[in-house]
Amino acid sequence: MTEVVTIQKFDDIATICIDNPPVNAAGHAMRKGVVDALDMLEADPEVKAIALYCAGRTFVAGADIREFGKPSQPPVLPDVCNRLEASSKPIVAIMHGTALGGGLELALCCHARVGITGSKVGLPEVNLGLLPGSGGTIRLPRVADTATTIKMITGGAPISAEDALKHGIIDRLEDGDPAQVAVTIAKELRDWKLKARVTRDLPVNLNGDKMSAARSKFEALGSKGAVALRALRAIEGAAKPIDEGLAAERALFIEALASDEHHGLKHAFFAERAVANIPEAKETPREIKTAGVIGGGTMGSGIATSMLLAGIPVTVIEMAEDRVAFAVKTITGNLQGAVKRGKLSHEAFDATVAKLTVTTDMSSLCDVDLVIEAVFESMEVKHEVFAKLDAICKTGAVLASNTSYLNIDEIAKAVTRPQDVIGLHFFSPAHVMRLLEVVVADKTAPDVVATGFALAKRLRKVAVRAGVCDGFIGNRILAHYARSTGYMMMDGADYEQIDNALVGFGAAMGPFTVGDLSGLDIGWAERKRRAPLRPPEERYIGVADKICEAGDFGRKTGKGYYVYWPDGSKTKNPDVAQFIADEQAEKGITPRSFTDEEIVDRYITAMIVECARVVEEGIALRPIDVDAVFLFGYGFPRHRGGPLCYADKIGAQALVDRINSYAKDDAYYWRVPALLQKMADDGTTFADLNKER
């Protein structure tokens, strides 16, 4: 046995306990420990029945993802599963927390399964670009119906123990401590009060209609359906003799392990968690029992909704009574939407609304623990608000700004307590988007940073630590690469082609569609603000300004780059072609055509360039933090892992070569960042930097 697996005997029954924190992943020590434990218990003539359970917060969370890509050390998980199933003594799995992936596969090889109330079971491998590789696709359809099998394996979402019971995946629900339940249930297994079954011996009856409907659905999705389709092919193997089916599943699993999708999705999985590793991680966060939000516009209302959904009472400050009514309407509408999406129960709705106060009286913020300001983006206005907060708020209250790009050090000058000031940059819609940039100013106290991260956790958001600069991590990078789309459009690429090419790359929407959706007036105001700062060498494209000058701000006015029709369709705005033609004529540009590939390459390279600068300057702690920003705030395709994970795939030298070749058109825009040049010179990667920092 190993230090992570222990056995205990209680007369003629025994328990095997896995204790491999934090999530009991099936790493090598655990796998070996389980096999050793089984060998010992099988050899013990006294033992009649065995219960397998876990210590800590959860049952086995699956294979140890960190071991993927490294040489596998036997016994491999499929062999451990087969070994359990072949045990001459009946074994029951006691599952608490979450039994996921290889964890559920282990349980499916036990001869009975018990779920502790509140637990969940699932096969989430597709979320990592994989498929269950220890018999899950072959054994699940032997206990559950085809629809449930397809849904769990190709969808990846876990189901509750109650549902698992309904679908035959578990045999029993129990309350209590897993260690104690293990002893009682092992006795029941010994006495045949709980029936033991060998999953591989159960008949399988795949429903052909459901399988072919799923196949057609995933085939129609093209490359976006590839991971699910591979998982479905493995399920088809369940109809074969079991060892053939298991071998076919294994082959598909190994194929998936080598796929780009797995590489990107695994990186995204770790990115979500790695960002919590900050210098202030050990600080004790300040307690946030109540919060205030200044400004009840779309952003402020979204932030308030997010807090309310996390159970935090919120006071929203608005300027006038009609604005108060608007904020109340927006926030209750958001909460109703949350009910519809299953994020808030019908029963909890009224109690949640009751936690909302909207008022014009700013002094009502005197007792709140945190205030987030979400007012107009002007330093003057921010100074006014923060000076008032300084006079009103209690000592120790965190004073946050939701500014998208303004200097937090500068904002903090308006108060006598700059240590309490921080940037908490939410992304719209704030109650839906998962990213929260925690912007740390020079004087921000470490426990205030920790408070930002603790708040994000409560709001179920992914917090990323950012330094102060214009636009922080995300908007700064966006401001840079967004220009590449304007340049390509002016040089002859059709903007609808640009949108489509980037959707083909995996973006949820193309950049021009996004601009229309978020409102072209926002970028317009931003360009006007930056105009005095714009270097003369910087190429400027005036098309978006012309659209705005015509009074068209995108979707909200029904017209932007596209015209939005009442039936929900959209077509290109014919005015835009004229604006482009006029500007080309004025600047003497002869339009040329672009391939989709060139569009994607230029766009992504521009993005990577600014990402590298943000890392180089220490605005982001590590490359993986930049990846997290783009995965959780900007819809970067998850299966590509984020811009800097993708950059490693291209390689630093290839990127430098690309930039140098693009520089022939525009030597000011296309400059090689020092960090990237260094990486090209010494052959290192962003992944290496992630390990170093």
Residues with a catalytic annotation lie at 404, 425, 437, 475
Nearer to ligand 3H9, 132 or 633 (CB): 132
Write down the H helix ranges in 86-135: 102-109
Question: What phi and psi values does residue 279 have, to the nearest 5 degrees?
Answer: -60, -25
Phi first, then psi, for residue 603 (nearest 5°) are -60, -50
Nearest approach in angstroms of CB 231 to ligand 3H9 is: 11
| Residue owning tokens 């502790």 | 116
- Shortest distance (Å) from residue 440 CB to ligand 3H9: 21
Is 58 within 8 Å of 96 (Cβ atoms)? yes
Distances (CA, A) of 327 to 344, 367, 569: 19, 21, 30
- Shortest spacing between CB 72 and ligand 3H9, in angstroms: 8
Amino acid identity of residue 385, one-letter, is V
What distance, in Å, lies between the first and last C-alpha atoms of the chain? 36
Closer residue to ligand 3H9, CB minimum distance, 11 or 243: 243
* Beta carbon nearer to ligand 3H9, 90 or 122: 122
The Cβ of residue 377 has, within 10 Å, a number of other Cβ atoms equal to 17
The sheet carrying 172-174 orders its strands as: 5-10, 13-18, 49-54, 91-95, 112-116, 172-174
Nearer to ligand 3H9 among residue 119 and residue 451 (C-beta)? 119
| Shortest separation between residue 370's beta carbon and ligand 3H9, angstroms | 23
DSSP-derived secondary structure for 303-332:
HHHHHHHTT--EEEE-SSHHHHHHHHHHHH
Report residue 388 CA to chain centroid gap: 36
Residue carrying structure tokens 């045949």: 192
CB of 563 to ligand 3H9, least distance (A): 43
Structure tokens at 506: 């995996």
Q: How many residues appear in the chain? A: 693
Question: Least Å distance between CB 632 and ligand 3H9?
Answer: 15
DSSP string covering 536-592 = TTS----HHHHHHHTT--BGGGTBSSEEEPTTS-EEE-HHHHHHHHHHHHHHT----
Distance CA 393, CA 386 (A): 10
CB of 575 to ligand 3H9, least distance (A): 49
| Other C-beta atoms lying within 10 Å of the C-beta of residue 327 | 23
399 strand-pairing partners: 371, 421
Residue matched to tokens 């449930």: 148
CB of 282 to ligand 3H9, least distance (A): 14
CA nearest neighbour of 182 among 8, 2, 5, 3: 8
Residue 272: closest CA among 649, 691, 642: 642
Q: Cβ of 635: how many Cβ atoms within 10 Å?
A: 14
Q: Which is nearer to ligand 3H9, 214 or 256 (CB)?
A: 256
Q: Which residues contact 558 (CB under 8 A, 6 or more apart)?
A: 552, 564
Nearer of residues 20 and 306 to ligand 3H9, judged by Cβ:
20
Cβ neighbours, 10 Å, residue 168 = 15
Of 505, 510, 515, residue with least CA distance to 541: 515
* Residue ranges in contact with ligand 3H9 by CB under 6 A: 22-23, 25, 58, 61-66, 77, 98, 100-102, 105, 124-125, 128, 130, 132-134, 136, 273
* Strands ordered across the beta sheet of 120-122: 98-100, 120-122, 159-160
> Whose Cβ is closer to ligand 3H9: residue 133's or residue 511's?
133
- Using an 8 Å Cβ cutoff, are 462 and 632 in contact? yes
Q: How far apart are CA 447 and CA 464, in angstroms?
A: 16
Q: Kindly tell me which of 502 and 628 has the beta carbon lying closer to ligand 3H9.
A: 628
Interatomic CA distance for residues 502 and 482, integer angstroms: 12
Nearer to ligand 3H9 by C-beta: 138 or 412? 138
**Residue 323 or residue 458: which is nearer to ligand 3H9 going by CB?**
458
Say how far apart CA 99 and CA 115 lie, in whole Å: 9
Q: C-beta of 24: minimal distance to ligand 3H9 in Å?
A: 9
Write down the least CB distance from residue 210 to ligand 3H9, Å: 22
DSSP 374-423: ---S-HHHHHHHHHHHHHHSPTT-EEEE--SSS-HHHHHTTSS-GGGEEE
Question: Residue type for 466, please?
Answer: A
| CB of 127 or CB of 573, closer to ligand 3H9 | 127
**Distance separating alpha carbons of residues 495 and 575, to the nearest angstrom:** 13
- Nearest distance from residue 152's CB to ligand 3H9, in Å? 12
DSSP H or E run through 242:
helix 242-257
